[in-house]
Amino acid sequence: MQSRFQLQWIVEQTYAGVLLKEFLKDKEVSRTALTDIKFSGGKILVNNVEVNVRFRLRTGDQVTIVFPPENPSEGLKGETIPLDILFEDEFLLIVNKTHGMSTIPSREHPNGSLANALMGYYQKKGIEATSHIVTRLDRDTSGLVLIAKHRHVHHLLSKQQQSGRVKRTYEAFAQGRIEQLQGRIEYRIGRKDDSIIEREVRSDGQYACTHFNVIGRYKGFTHVELHLETGRTHQIRVHMSFIGHPLLGDDLYGGDTTVIERQALHCKRIKFTHPFTGRESIFSASLPADLDYIIKADSE
């Protein structure tokens, strides 16, 4: 069994005399995490002696946080499903998700999700964690997904995401010919009144902004690269449909399903700062076979 998730620091001179509570705040350990540590079986140690957050630090002290064990979400069972793991360390995973796999279980698709696959993988490896998926993709969108191995790591990566520091780049095939080489789509998006799934452009929706660049033009469709300023549900699909260029295969938003029967959308690149090494991390995944096949169509 893998040891419980923990973090460790050596106290620098600038923190001499500072309360441990303030030190941990600067290290982005949340109040929720501290409460969880106190009441759910975690430990706060200074020089291997258990202390409370009112302890005053000295230069050279070794601070160790041992987090409580994580229990899988109730009803989320592990399944043996192959995962295309591009990167893994003790803190996070980068997975290249195939299309047709839900990110989390739903009423319509209770099994076979990425979350189920992660739980099966963790159980096999003896990792004490539940599913912490930072960047989600629609069931029929393929590509890169960022996953945290612990709720504290999820907290740190979510803060990056909320401040726009987790950058994702997509490739898509849009119906028709897009004349502009590049553009900005800026329309508010909200839930459609008569649907729990479908979204639409509406004045009372949430602000949403999508940037696109044309990669190539083909007979009947345009190959585009897209970057998001915001991360609204179905944002790319809704925005492209609204400007008259729905994604190929996206029948929910008016896309032609003749060539492909799922939305022709792939998350090909993800960039973020590793929360513990501080390094800029960039990962890429090439187009899957079904989308690569579309490019073989006769070009103009």
Radius of gyration of the chain (CA): 22
The CA dihedral of 48, 52, 57, 62, to the nearest 10 degrees, is 20
What is the rounded (10 degree) CA torsion for 292, 296, 298, 300? 50
Max distance between CA atoms of the chain, in angstroms, equals 71
| Amino acid present at 140 | D
At CA 169, angle to CA 167 and CA 171, rounded to 5? Answer: 170
61 is known as an active-site residue = no
* Identity at 194, one-letter amino acid code: D
Find the catalytic residue in 26, 89, 138, 193: 138
From the list 230, 212, 248, the residue with the least C-alpha distance to 99 is 248
- The helices-and-strands tally (H runs, E runs) of the chain is 6, 16
Q: Give the type of residue at 179.
A: E
Q: Residue 168: count other Cβ atoms within 10 Å of its Cβ.
A: 21
The catalytic residue positions are 138
